Amino acid sequence: MALSISSLTSSLSSLSFSSQISRNPSNISIPQPPKTLPISLSSKYARSLSISATVAAPVENLKKLVKSRLPGGFAAQTIIGTGRRKCAIARVVLQEGTGKFIINYRDAKEYLQGNPLWLQYIKVPLVTLGYETSYDVFVKAHGGGLSGQAQAISLGIARALLKVSADHRSPLKKEGLLTRDSRVVERKKVGLKKARKAPQFSKR
């Protein structure tokens, strides 16, 4: 027992504490966290930011192009036509050019999602008269879907071509491009599932 006590006292005496901490505890330095933490974006998020930046640039360029080509806006132009289809309305301006199609400050192929049928709709009036590379087309369209807007643009181009020359009426009318398609979705009726569709009949 005496041996254990003596060994304990010798081990305690061998322990030494830092004088700095015991005498002046206020000098203890605690590392401060950095005020600005480095933020690392994931590669997917950074890629989406770069894509959105590259898409925004052509839109701004097309806006500048349209404003430079159409001083005073759409209403101040001379060769203009308005087309309608379903709920869609399109204002069309024609100017002599190389065959560009700009819809709502975007390229027509991009705006109409590359759909070949919709792209054919907007080109038919110019192709009928052989003007596919003679005029640039500027369009403001709203309402409805892309299919309705494409057909509204076709009617607007045909009406604008009438202001170029009255002789264009005969070939355009022969192709049915001057007729406003008045068909719209029929309203739903009370008690029916849709406009005409009725629920299944049950005798009992």
Looking at residues 13-28, what average pLDDT do you find?
A: 48
Is residue 129, in this structure, part of any structural domain at all? yes
Q: How far apart are CA 138 and CA 73, in angstroms?
A: 11
Edge-to-edge strand list for the sheet holding 80-85: 80-85, 88-96, 135-142, 101-103, 106-107
Q: How far apart are CA 124 and CA 174, in angstroms?
A: 13
Is residue 147, in this structure, part of any structural domain at all? yes
Is residue 197, in this structure, part of any structural domain at all? no
Which pair of structure tokens corresponds to residue 80? 């203009």
Domain with 95, as residue range(s), is 78-175
Of residues 79, 54, 71, the one with CA closest to residue 136: 79
Is residue 90, in this structure, part of any structural domain at all? yes
Is residue 114, in this structure, part of any structural domain at all? yes
Whether 124 has a pLDDT exceeding 80, the answer reads yes
Q: How many domains does the chain have?
A: 1
pLDDT of residue 2: 47
Which pair of structure tokens corresponds to residue 93? 């301006």
State pLDDT tens for residues 71-106. Answer: 999 989 999 999 999 999 999 999 999 999 999 999
Instruction: Supply the pTM of this predicted model.
Output: 0.71
